[in-house]
Amino acid sequence: MPIKHTLSELTGPVFGDDVVRLNDQDLTKNAKVNGEPLGERIIIAGRVTDELGRPISHTLIEIWQANAAGRYVHKADQHQAPLDPNFLGGGRCMTDSNGCYKFYTIKPGAYPWGNHFNAWRPNHIHFSLFGRNITNRLATQMYFPGDPLLEYDPVFKGVPVAARSLLISSFNVDYTEEGFALGYEFNIVLRGKNHTPFEK
């Protein structure tokens, strides 16, 4: 039975385009100092919708990730892998009027995290976004197809079996740019039975 939305679900933050600066959606450029970041350049794109497939337009999406060597720019990350002076690993963009978004970035590397013996996180990108209101903040992790580490990862396996595929992006040749970068599609559903699993 559809539940009528209350005022708090119909109102909330409205992000103007001025919140996003030039190149914020391009992680290969937004922290460039003296060269190109190292690693495989990729495109992540998709659509944000509600449970009925209606676009969630003009909402802010933020992402963060490790660099190609599997290292975060964070003092808590002491993994013995190199930092990249030209890569920070954070970006943001707004969905357009059709709920679509697009990021350019570097494919993140796997990294050890000490949760258990030989524990390696699969390649992943963290996502945070807002729905129609601030109480709809969704934080989740996007994975890559065919990653052999998925079946060993307690974070991924903590998601109900039926919903796991919703967290794995798919290779999309239409998002791939000739001679430049492979494209991956990751669609996000904010509410309803088939919503994207999110972190509590």
- Catalytic annotation, residues: 72, 111, 121, 124, 126
Spacing of C-alpha 102 from chain mean position: 10
H or E segment at 184?
Answer: strand 182-185
d(CA 97, CA 74): 34
d(CA 71, CA 82): 7
H or E segment at 142?
Answer: strand 138-143
Angle of CA points 9, 125, 170, to nearest 5°: 90
- CA quadruple 51, 56, 62, 63: dihedral, nearest 10: 50
* Residues 61 and 100 sit within 8 Å (Cβ to Cβ): no
Spacing of C-alpha 120 from chain mean position: 19
Query: 185: left (phi > 0), else alpha (psi -120 to 50), else beta?
Result: beta
